[in-house]
Structure 1
Amino acid sequence: MAAMGSGSWVREAERPFLRQVEDWTAHVHARGTWYLTDFLTPRERWIVESAARHAGLVTSDFGGYTDAERARMLLMPDDWHPETSDYDITCLSITTLEQPIRHRDVLGSVLGLGIQRKALGDISVFDQKQAYLFATSAMGSYLARELHRVGRSVVEVALMDELPQLLPPAYEEQDIFVMSPRIDAIVAQACHLSRANAQEHVARGHVSLNFAEAVARDEVRAGDILSVRGFGRIRVVEAVGTSRSGRIRMRIGILRSDT
């Protein structure tokens, strides 16, 4: 791996975030206290953990329940054994009174109130009737007052007294073999598509990388989340090794959209 300071171990688009992380590590060293982040994606947490370790710091994360996909992180000068309350997370219970609700309906309605995605954690929907939304405590209080509709449905919103114990997303882990870590190669193998078909999905904007639209030249790295329209999500765990034929063995997790 190249030196941390060069930033060559992250993508060009990730360098502004890395500089922000370096500011956080400087804050911890200067003040001798911990720094609490907003909600981060798995890839962002991997970058934070790598940069913090290089700076001699300790990290810990929590998203409101065990193995949450989006989580807040604490950067610490030493392992201070933080408690759940130190992450300043609250959970909203959202119940529909009319039409069924979906994950994208909840997210769209909340973002429509002018709230930034980084203030929100996971959204879990059950039977299209009830959803749990994790947020920073300040944002949770605001949403409890201001969120009245999700999509076309009137909803009841309540702040929960305690964080619910939810099951983590049920990713099915498997290994695939690819000639390169390009995103179209991963999508082709994970979704059982031809390479040309996978390239067409990317070209049409049907594939996102870490919740932003992907492009054909993108290469996947540990911690990346791919979303493929009509299929589901692909989580990149790690590159395990290389076969005798030169193919890369990638460990991934699959979460199908119908689960």
Structure 2
Amino acid sequence: MNIYQHFRPEEREYIDQVLDWKENVELHYTSRLTDFLDPREQHILKTIVGENGDIKYSLFGGTNDGERKRAFLYPDYLTPNEDDFQISLFEIHYPKKFVTIEHRQVLGTLMSLGVKRGKFGDILINDDQIQFFTAQEISDYIKNNIEAIGRAGIKLVEKPLNYALAPKELWGEMDVTVSSLRLDTVISSVFHVSRQKSLTFIQQGAVKVNWTAIENPSFHCDEGDLISVRGHGRMKILQIEGKTKKEKWRIVVGRQK
């Protein structure tokens, strides 16, 4: 079976990586920990590793409800625990009375360190309280290199994982029927806008799929995709249930409230 035919051409490199992880665990009877994966990458890994083989996987991002998660691949005789995921939690202390810090500023500061995105997990914001997850292997580097976010001087305080903020985002699950899995069609149906409006959003660069701007309206959406439309929020494709008798697609989506 050609595994690649089930995924997008641009995902081939990542698929090869997952296959390599799986093979190493099988050959050496040892575990493998990945960087933080986005929902689509998690879906691909689940599909390739499967549920019934000798190799198992667990996903954890610092909280069970996290969006970005590290994967732990292991032989079936092992039982993983939270420590195996090697995740650090930082809280940002800053002069809250005088400045406001936004999600994009935190991410921009982290990315400016020259560390790849996969080393950072979710950024949690609840009113003026801000936290973020990182891979444990870079926690010292983070502590030693971040003293400000924007113009605000800050202090990073490492916290146990059980101090993590509860995710504030609420996702409402809904069933949707779409004529195709094209990006413009899915946006139109889920966000209740006209097809022309969804096309405009895409062409103007206002649409991201899995954190990457997509300007092709015929882009094929798939299970695990996280789609954001500037000014309209985000949605996840949780499940593609198949076609109806009228050849339309039934999908289950999570819509950010």
CA shift, 1:85, in A, is: 0.6
Aligned to 2:66: 68
**CA–CA distance in 2 between the matches of 1:38 and 1:158?**
22
CA shift, 1:224, in A, is: 0.6
CA shift, 1:164, in A, is: 2.3
- Given residue 219 of structure 2, which amino acid in structure 1 is its aligned partner? D
The number of residues matched between the two structures is: 252
Go from structure 1 to structure 2 and tell me whether the alpha carbon gap of 1:226 and 1:79 turns closer, same or farther (over 3 Å shift). Answer: farther
CA shift, 1:165, in A, is: 4.2
| Structure 1 gap segments, 5+ residues each | none
CA shift, 1:56, in A, is: 4.3
Aligned to 2:126: 126
SS at match of 1:144: helix
- Sequence identity of aligned pairs in percent? 30
Aligned to 1:141: 140
- Given residue 173 of structure 1, which amino acid in structure 2 is its aligned partner? E
- Given residue 231 of structure 2, which amino acid in structure 1 is its aligned partner? G
CA shift, 1:57, in A, is: 1.6
CA shift, 1:40, in A, is: 0.3
**Pick from 5, 16, 19: which aligns with 1:19?**
16
Go from structure 1 to structure 2 and tell me whether the alpha carbon gap of 1:243 and 1:131 turns closer, same or farther (over 3 Å shift). Answer: same
Aligned to 1:47: 44
CA contact (8 A) 2:56 2:74 kept: yes
Aligned to 1:177: 177
Go from structure 1 to structure 2 and tell me whether the alpha carbon gap of 1:221 and 1:79 turns closer, same or farther (over 3 Å shift). Answer: farther
**CA–CA distance in 1 between the matches of 2:49 and 2:241?**
24
Go from structure 1 to structure 2 and tell me whether the alpha carbon gap of 1:56 and 1:14 turns closer, same or farther (over 3 Å shift). Answer: farther
Aligned to 1:7: 4
What do residues 57-102 of structure 1 show as CA deviations (whole Å, max 9, x unaligned)? 2110100011210000111121522111110001000122141111
**CA–CA distance in 2 between the matches of 1:56 and 1:207?**
39
Go from structure 1 to structure 2 and tell me whether the alpha carbon gap of 1:154 and 1:189 turns closer, same or farther (over 3 Å shift). Answer: same
CA shift, 1:28, in A, is: 0.5
CA shift, 1:162, in A, is: 4.1
**Pick from 86, 89, 96: which aligns with 2:87?**
89
Q: What TM-score, normalized by structure 1, do the two folds share?
A: 0.92
- Given residue 205 of structure 1, which amino acid in structure 2 is its aligned partner? G
**CA–CA distance in 1 between the matches of 2:31 and 2:10?**
27
Deviates more, 1:139-148 or 1:59-68: 139-148
- Given residue 216 of structure 1, which amino acid in structure 2 is its aligned partner? P
**CA–CA distance in 1 between the matches of 2:154 and 2:256?**
28
What do residues 226-253 of structure 1 show as CA deviations (whole Å, max 9, x unaligned)? 0110111110011224334332121101
Aligned to 2:204: 204
**CA–CA distance in 2 between the matches of 1:61 and 1:79?**
17
- Given residue 83 of structure 2, which amino acid in structure 1 is its aligned partner? S
Go from structure 1 to structure 2 and tell me whether the alpha carbon gap of 1:56 and 1:184 turns closer, same or farther (over 3 Å shift). Answer: farther
Aligned to 1:150: 149
- Given residue 57 of structure 2, which amino acid in structure 1 is its aligned partner? T
CA contact (8 A) 1:66 1:166 kept: no
**CA–CA distance in 2 between the matches of 1:105 and 1:165?**
20
